[in-house]
Chains A and B, each alone.
Chain A
């Protein structure tokens, strides 16, 4: 039963055909947050974001105000704001739609955030495979510049800002914030040794804040409408609302914006339930890098804290749901294949571990695994998790143990029966006829 309503805020006017233009955005109240912000002291903005309790929407859920507060002020160095728009997580599809439909919310957020952290240069690092999104954001930046919202002495405040839209070259690792910085500086995208942390020595060895697109898109609304308004949504520890792009075997996959704390069951109902009245077999609250859950977890609120308590993570907050037609062996194999392909190669556990695990999982997929290997894989994952250089390794070590926890029998069956024999692959297709299922 649904008790939580949807709260379209970032997505409120997505049905307006010209929202992506500056006129369209202004017509629905856009850039009011900026006007408010420019009358505020930068520290007051940081304070307001801290008070709002906004947490990073890129996956780790670090409080945004705290991140901003780490930037040393009056240090004589240039500061930078970098927007991580390298959305590449399997299952994640929120930043790119935001950039396509409402790019000015991002741009407005960028201007306010830069003003708050005293950055006169901001970079929006967009995944290279989405030229349509790059074009939309670049256009929005150009419009904002033409309107005097970006450039020298904005609103006569003495604050100047330049915004650069940078296209990545298509590497998942560049979503890791320090790898993103290396890539942005023109180097090979590989994570950097920390410390120093980006807040102290990030882009060009200067204090840098790196925020996710959705996080930044929240900023104008918080500044415009205030902390109490923002805190009416969500929970104490996970305040606010979230863009939930729901994918998988649901009747109406798509983007649903709702307060944090809504349950998956509620979202699933909004999405029309599992196709053909079927059952959820397993689902992931935030991309392939978080441990999977099953139908028994559908009533847990989607918050950072409740997901952690359930042994998983909210992650990017991008639920993927799979029905009973899906082979978990095959799903895990695909994910690992992705991590193997995207491992940057810097550290041994991730580079070699993903290579090995993928090789073994492919055997399982074809029914040629061994019983011993079912447990060997758990051990291999434990040799990667917590031992790799960055979180990519941790992510790669996540799907298998989580899947094994709920579907051990399926992996054991894969020692003799291929995934395709266990589950008719045609039945799992989204467009499969009900009869096949």
Chain B
């Protein structure tokens, strides 16, 4: 664990130890520990089904019955708390415990179909495994088994074979206790007891896939993986999720060159044992629509080219241009982002570089340079769990960083108070028991400046955290206000970007004015150190163009050549700007893994690797490096860094290491910057837009994102698209069933929903089916729209 000390840890109270003897072996263990955990620490495995260390004990399956000295009946080890001097005898030393466990196992198998040969869980099934250790070789049961029609859908993604269920209630407890989506419940009674959902209320939780993973039998399966493979035919690789900045550990299972499934992997410091459905199921994009060969534009058409030809073509185009820009996109690994940062400064001799090909601002850039880049891991998941209070701004964790949401919810269940500054009390906020501090879109800085005295006082408590999302970039004066609040209260500040690569790209120096490790470009000492490390005499000394300014310069034909690395034009609020910039740029080199609007406009396209085809590191929102291995060891697709290295070579320029190990060495040698940082932004709060209805919007976790393509079951579990308004606003519209929302570019018609929203604000998903705001309406958060009831 890389966790450094933080304000939270020393709040942990001193623990009282008790001595307990398990199977004759004594162990000193904190008071309140469960017997089953004490036994685990001694390496004694007590069989169990309902027990899960992250769920409250239920003691329903009775598989873990053990003999406890002085207690007449065998007791469930999963619910029994140790006490000093307790004598525990497990199945290893107690015939009573062994007999009890064998009895329970025999009962569990009564109504279980024993269809292991056709069950997806076969081979990794706790029931199968424990039937081997605690079961009878032959069944005494000769009656008729209970059966159910099979399977039923509890959601589009999750299927339930009820006859396999052992009623351990792990899934229902997960849904209620962890995800806060209590849509799964046990129904009926006796041997008819079964898991189910309410009528017309499917288990559309963002975290539903976890129930498949923790199901100790094959009762819950996913439509995506059902009947796809047997576990013993799979090759497993530990990986990191590439979707958001949570940084989940995953296990990627593949077979015959194809990813078959992904599981949440154990990482107590980050994702514990959970992940979200996007991280679990959205990986089919990796195979679809790929760029497979280099392409060069000839007579206006892209044609297939050999690598030498394409490299030569690109090198000549780049060398010929007098000015350059580099757009990295937010999904690069740390190593690839570093390669772009280095390539821009060394090969192109420019500081025109940005990873923020999305809504961005100068203020945000200054905020990132001054307060985020190159800072050590300070605010962590652990900090959140210990925090007395967490304030969220421009951030909807359930949609934008779901594992942050899970940890915040866990914290809230333990007493952490959550506040959210914004126009909408979201479903996620309600599940965290949070309080909305209402702010019209754009009015957040004013609300922060005049924060209620009580909240301000709470934020002064030790361990308080302010979390700000990347949408702060769209709020004029927002980052300034957040920094001022953090300074005034002493609360820790965490920036949570949405994309997995943004924090790493920032630290790798893929932002104008910033060199790796948070070094300001304007500092001579920083520049000199990096120039020396990169083996060049000097680096560009003036801060280059970033964000929309860079694209605007390209549009105005002042950029001779652009390099793009994983850019999605749809991410830009001003869609025409991106398109115009790429069209007007003299020469465009695209390093892309998928065909897209960018490759359509590029002069040269190089295919690059997706996450399964390369090793790398994502840096999560904490600033914690989350390295991952190459899933497909024999993949022939090269990473961005390798392609950039070849490109530099074609330009006769030496840029340094291109392999992951080499780049990590270079980055490690550079180390962190401890010199002066750039000035904090100081931007006055902007004006709240005028208009009867202002838009509040962010991206839903499951939406039209290009990395969710090809996974229809996942898409079907997305939250329904709707325009959410307050009851007053709805009343003023005449309470219609649906509304037509119109912006400068057009309109969308969506169902109307009433929620806890500020009057005069309409909440819409940013990029969901039938509601793509940038494209269909041409509005961003905080801008005015007109709404009309349509039925």
Whether a CB of chain A sits under 8 angstroms from the CB of B227 is: no
A389 touches B107 (CB 8 A): no
- Within B134-191, the residues touching A (CB, 8 Å) are 140-141, 143-144, 146, 166-167, 185-186, 188-191
Asked if A343 is at the interface (CB within 8 A of a chain B CB), the reply is yes
B61 contacts across to A, CB distance below 8 A: 347-348
Given contact pairs A171-B189, A383-B107, A355 touches B79 in the complex (Cβ within 8 A): no
Bitwise, A339-369 to B at CB < 8 A (1) or not (0) is 0111111111101111110011000000000
**Contact A345 to B186, CB < 8 A, known contacts A351-B167, A355-B111:** yes
Q: Which of B59, B103, B185, B192 has the most CB of A within 10 A?
A: B103
Contact with B along A381-412 (1 / 0, CB 8 A): 01100111100000000000000000000000
- Which residues of A are found within 8 Å of B110, using beta-carbon distances? 352, 355-356
CB distance from B98 to the nearest CB of A (A): 12
**Chain B nearest CB, measured from A191 CB (Å):** 10
CB nearest to B146 among chain A residues? A355
Report yes or no: A387 in contact with B191, Cβ–Cβ below 8 A: no
Q: A340-B190, A341-B190, A386-B72 are in contact. Are A353 and B107 (CB under 8 A)?
A: yes
Tell me the B189-216 residues at the A interface (CB within 8 Å): 189-193
Contact at B193–A351, with CB atoms within 8 Å? yes
Whether B65 sits at the interface, judged by CB under 8 Å, is: yes
**On chain A, which size bracket covers the interface?**
20 to 34
Does chain B have a CB within 8 A of A188?
A: yes
Q: A356 touches which one: B62, B65, B141, B185 (CB < 8 A)?
A: B141
**Across the interface, do B190 and A345 meet the contact criterion of CB distance under 8 Å?**
yes
Q: Which of B59, B73, B189 is within 8 Å of A193, CB to CB?
A: B59
Q: Report the Cα distance A355→B191, complex, angstroms.
A: 7
Report chain A residues within 8 Å CB of B106: 383
- Minimum CB–CB distance from A366 to chain B (whole Å) comes to 13
In the assembled complex, which residues on chain B have CB atoms less than 8 Å from the CB atom of A351? 107, 167, 190-191, 193
Q: Are A173 and B73 in contact (CB under 8 A)?
A: no
Classify the interface of chain A: helix, strand, loop or mixed: helix
Across-interface contacts of A386 in B (CB, < 8 A): 72-74
B688 adjacent to chain A (CB < 8 Å)? no
Docked Cα-Cα span, A352 to B104, in Å, equals: 9
B143 touches A356 (CB 8 A): yes
In the complex, are the beta carbons of B65 and A387 less than 8 A apart?
Answer: yes
CB of A424 within 8 A of chain B?
Answer: no
Q: Does B125 contact A (CB under 8 A)?
A: no
Partner among A188, A359, A388 whose Cβ is within 8 Å of the Cβ of B62: A388
Question: Which residues of B are found within 8 Å of A353, using beta-carbon distances?
Answer: 107
A389 touches B74 (CB 8 A): no
Is A153's CB within 8 Å of the partner chain B? no
Interface residues as binary, B79-119 with A (CB distance below 8 Å gives 1, 0 otherwise): 10000000000000000000110011011101100000000
The distance in angstroms between the C-alpha atoms of A344 and B193, with both chains bound, is 8
Check A348 against B111 for contact (C-beta < 8 Å). Answer: no
The answer to whether A73 has its CB under 8 Å from any CB of chain B is no
Residue of B nearest to A354 (CB): B190
Instruction: Indicate whether B637 reaches chain A with its CB closer than 8 angstroms.
Output: no
Contacts of B531 in A (CB 8 A): none
Task: Decide if B63 is an interface residue (CB 8 Å cutoff).
Answer: yes
* Pairwise interchain contact B57-A347, C-beta atoms closer than 8 A: no
When the two chains form their complex, are residues B189 and A387 in contact, meaning their CB atoms are under 8 A apart?
no
Question: Which of A341, A352, A360, A382 is B108 in contact with, Cβ under 8 Å?
Answer: A352
Answer yes or no: A376 CB below 8 A from chain B CBs.
Answer: yes
What is the bound-complex CA distance between A348 and B109, given in angstroms? 10
From B103, B111, B189, contact of A173 by CB (8 A):
B189
For residue B60, CB closer than 8 A to chain A, the reply is: yes
Whether, in the assembled complex, B58 has its beta carbon less than 8 Å from a beta carbon of chain A, the answer is: yes
Check A348 against B189 for contact (C-beta < 8 Å): no
Which residues on the A side are within 8 Å of B74 (C-beta)? 386-387
Most chain A CB neighbours (cut-off 10 Å) among B63, B99, B190: B190
Contact at B103–A346, with CB atoms within 8 Å? Answer: no
Identify A344's interface contact among B79, B108, B189, CB under 8 A: B189
Within the assembled complex, what's the spacing in Å between the Cα atoms of A389 and B59?
7
Known pairs A347-B61, A353-B107, A389-B59; A360 contacts B143 (CB<8 A): yes
Q: Which of B99, B103, B191 contacts A345 (CB 8 A)?
A: B191
Q: How far is the CA of A279 from the CA of B666 in the complex (A)?
A: 98
Q: Which residues of B contact A173 (CB under 8 A)?
A: 189
Our pick among B104, B140, B143 for the contact of A348 (Cβ within 8 Å) is: B104
B193 touches A389 (CB 8 A): no
* B753 CB to nearest chain A CB (Å): 26
Please indicate the chain A residues that have their CB under 8 angstroms from the CB of B191 in the complex.
Answer: 340, 343, 345, 351-352, 354-355
Find residues 717-776 in chain B having any chain A CB closer than 8 Å to their own CB.
none
Q: Are B111 and A346 in contact (CB under 8 A)?
A: no
Asked if residues B65 and A193 are in contact (CB atoms below 8 Å), the reply is no
The answer to whether B107 touches A349 (Cβ under 8 A) is yes
Closest 3 A/B residue pairs (Cβ): A345-B193, A383-B103, A359-B143
Which A residues form the contact surface with B (CB < 8 A)?
A: 171, 173, 188, 193, 340-349, 351-356, 359-360, 376, 382-383, 386-389
A–B pairs, 26, beta carbons within 8 Å = A171-B189, A188-B186, A193-B79, A342-B189, A343-B190, A344-B193, A345-B189, A345-B193, A347-B60, A347-B62, A348-B62, A348-B107, A348-B167, A351-B190, A352-B108, A352-B111, A354-B191, A355-B110, A355-B111, A360-B143, A376-B140, A382-B103, A383-B103, A383-B106, A387-B100, A387-B104
